Every structure is written in structure tokens, then in C-alpha cells.
Amino acid sequence: MELHMKIAQIQTNVYKDKKKNLENLEAYLRKIAPERPDLAAVGEMFSCPYATENFPVYAEKEGGETWTSLSELAAKYQIYLSAGSVPEVDDQGKVYNTAYVFDRQGRQIAKHRKMHLFDIAIQGGQYFRESDTLTAGNQVTVLKTEFGMIGLCICFDFRFPELARLMVDQGAKVILVPAAFNMTTGPRHWELMHQSRALDNQCFVVSTSPARDANADYVAWGHSLIVSPWGDVIAEMDEREGYIITEIDLNEVDTVRGQLPLLQARRKDIYDLHCIE
């Protein structure tokens, strides 16, 4: 198993033109190709302006035009592609906030439908109701790669510590989080939440946001980051479009878990956490 992993986080602007978003992603993949990253990650709803009324309009079935383009990009650049999230519609017409991951051959190796819908109303701050047009998923998602097991969830999902622990219980040493915090929650909770999840679960957390657009209906915080198993922010962007490439050493997970055996010390004779089948 390869223990060093080079991760590119691409923090893109989100345009109304779906095709332009895909072309922009490819331009970045072409630009970073000489650095030979193992995995590229993009943000939540990277191909669709983040507004509830847009989700049904932009939604496609799995295997549709956007899915095919993402699969082809992964194969063309021989990279694992954590393709942010996109609106997906099923055969019954239900719409989901869905994250796909493709391997180096362009094969889909994971699909996660956002489990916890972002319905908030903060006094003097953000109001948003994903449930107006989206349906919640119901699966904990962990994918197998040459680097070992990797967890996958979407933004508001990561607010719930049980989900992170369930992914780690299934072997995840890295958790990928396409996300889009806003100008109310971002300054207060972005680093704090990601550091907390990484620290509690002694794993790497890779969270990728869209870039900030002050003229958008929903203004993203940006600040894509990676947190270490010790809880340190080891790389972070600002709010602007661009990318960062970070190499992580997965040995660090075992080192931290060995020195501070939090996961081992749990009292499973008193409490336990498991998925309901």
C-alpha cells in the first residue's frame, strides 16, 4: 500500500453555465498535471450555483453528461477525482446532493448522497433550506484505494461526529469533504469543526470549497484546507479561486493513534456506535 499521497484541492468559481464549470475544472487538471498529484478534489456543487431552485434544473442521472465528463477527466489525467458534488436525479424524480469519486481509469468507485440536509435559520445570518428541493441520502460511504480506505461525506454531514466515527470504524484514515460553508458559519466554525473531527478520529481531513463570489446568492467562505491526525491545519487557501497541492504521509495516522490511543481506549462495553441495516 502506498503511504504517501499527493492531494490537489481545486477551489473553483461556480458559473451558471454547467459546461463552463467542467471546462474550468479541466483547465486546472491540465495545469497541475506536471506535478503528478494522486487525487484531485473540488467543492460542493461545483457545477451548479448553490440555490435550492437550481438543484432540480441542473440535476442529471448517474451516467449523464456531467458524470461522463468527470469520468473521462479522471481517466485522461490518470488521477483519482473526488468530483465535489453535483445535483443528481433518480428514476423517481427525487433530487440529491451527490458526490462521485472516480479512479485513475475513470471508473466510479464511490457515490455519496448528502445525508444531513442543510436547513438553517440563523438570526441575523444565514437562512437556507436544502430540503425544499433535495432528498436526503442514507449511506455511510467509505472507498477502497491504493492508499487504503478513504471516507466521503458532504459539508453539513460533517457537523455530525457520529458519521465521521462510523467512517473511521470502517477503516478510513482520510476523509474527503466537499463543502460550501457561508459567510456566517465559515468564520466561526470552518477550521474549528474540521480540526475537531480530525483530532477526535485521528485521521486526515481534506475539505474543499468553491471559491468566494461576493455577487452570488450564496456566498461561500472558501478556505479549502487539510487537517492532520494531530489536529493541525497543514494547508489552507484563502477565499480566491486557485489550487493547492499537499503531500500527506499516511504513516502519521498510525503514529498518532499509537501514541495517543483514543480509538483503542473507547469503552465499548458501555457504549457502541453502529450502522442500522
CB count, 10 Å around CB of 215?
A: 5
The partner residues of 129 in beta bridges, in order of sequence, read: 119
173 carries an active-site annotation? no
SS3 of residue 90 by DSSP: coil
What are the strands of the beta sheet with 141-145, ordered from one edge? 141-145, 148-152, 174-178, 204-208, 225-227, 233-236
Which grid cell sits at 176?
Answer: 474527503
Catalytic residue (choose from 18, 88, 111, 114): 114
Q: Round to whole Å and give the CA distance between 218 and 85.
A: 16
72 carries an active-site annotation? no
Catalytic residue (choose from 44, 130, 236, 239): 44
44 carries an active-site annotation? yes
Q: Round to whole Å and give the CA distance between 133 and 138.
A: 17
Catalytic residue (choose from 48, 155, 173, 239): 155
Q: Round to whole Å and give the CA distance between 163 and 133.
A: 23
- Which residues have a catalytic role annotated? 44, 114, 155
